[in-house]
Amino acid sequence: EDQVTQSPEALRLQEGESSSLNCSYTVSGLRGLFWYRQDPGKGPEFLFTLYSAGEEKEKERLKATLTKKESFLHITAPKPEDSATYLCAVQAQVDNAGNMLTFGGGTRLMVKP
Amino acid sequence: DGGITQSPKYLFRKEGQNVTLSCEQNLNHDAMYWYRQDPGQGLRLIYYSQIVNDFQKGDIAEGYSVSREKKESFPLTVTSAQKNPTAFYLCASRAAGRGINEQFFGPGTRLTVL
């Protein structure tokens, strides 16, 4: 069974204080790993897809990295508007004709000015 | 503007009633998905459809039903058989094609059972 665990569950940062969010996964052959941002009461917003170990993607203050067992979302010099819940999801290669995703529980990030 | 719309934004249901949540997309995506989100938990898949007139159960399909009569529309009915329907419901869609795996989400419907 595919599993995704995100840590920490919640993270409080001061504005400008860089940090990383972790996504550990077990999957029967990784097709892709996805990061989403979700604001309260809204649908998730797609951020990145990573396909293979060693891959990195960047967008503004966010950088996502991938190893064979986990992914990190690095946030450099965060601003209050980066406050949100960040979701990680994996897509298995095996028996997944529907391209289904398995989600982690999310990390709630709060950035104080 | 292309996107996914869900309606209503808020829905209140009395116990014993069936309710239908709407999901429409104008992205020309082939695949559509319904998820349920509970506080502190990840998204769980209810149903998905890869083509018109075909759909499959996800991990938590009991008490729910869907239809896919048009490519643009994938409504979800929450039946009275669903024991704990209060949750945030999210619809997503995905384009077909090799290497296109990202799902894009609508704004969600919050269902509350009174």
At A50-68, the pLDDT tens digits run: 999 999 999 999 999 999 9
pLDDT at B1 over 70: no
Q: What pLDDT, on the 0 to 100 scale, is given for residue A60?
A: 95
Q: What pLDDT, on the 0 to 100 scale, is given for residue B41?
A: 82
Residues 7-66 in A contacting B (C-alpha not used; CB under 8 Å)? 9, 31-32, 34, 36, 41-46, 49
Q: What pLDDT, on the 0 to 100 scale, is given for residue B99?
A: 67
Decide if B37 contacts B88 (C-beta within 8 A): yes
pLDDT at A26 over 80: yes
Burial A67-76, CB ≥16 within 10 A → b, else e: eeebbbbebe
Facing residue for B42 by CB, picked from A43, A99, A103: A103
pLDDT band at B101 (very low <50, low <70, confident <90, very high): confident
Q: What pLDDT, on the 0 to 100 scale, is given for residue B78?
A: 96
Q: What pLDDT, on the 0 to 100 scale, is given for residue B60?
A: 95
Q: What pLDDT, on the 0 to 100 scale, is given for residue A81?
A: 97
pLDDT at B96 over 80: no
B43:A87 CB<8 A: yes
Facing residue for B101 by CB, picked from A44, A49, A103: A49
pLDDT at A47 over 90: yes
Residues B5-54 have pLDDT tens digits of: 999 999 998 988 999 999 999 999 999 999 999 987 889 999 999 999 99
Facing residue for A101 by CB, picked from B4, B41, B103: B103
Distance from C-alpha of A61 to C-alpha of A81, rounded to nearest angstrom: 11
How much is the average pLDDT of B47-63? 95
Interface size, chain A vs chain B, as Cβ–Cβ contacts under 8 Å: 60
How much is the average pLDDT of B70-97? 93
In terms of pLDDT, which residue wins out, B1 or A8?
A8
Q: What pLDDT, on the 0 to 100 scale, is given for residue A95?
A: 67
Residues 34-73 in B contacting A (C-alpha not used; CB under 8 Å)? 40-45, 48, 50, 56, 58
| Torsion, CA A36, CA B33, CA A50, CA A17, rounded to 10 | 10
The backbone torsions φ and ψ at residue A82, rounded to the nearest 5 degrees and listed phi first, read -80, -5
Decide if A108 contacts A43 (C-beta within 8 A): no
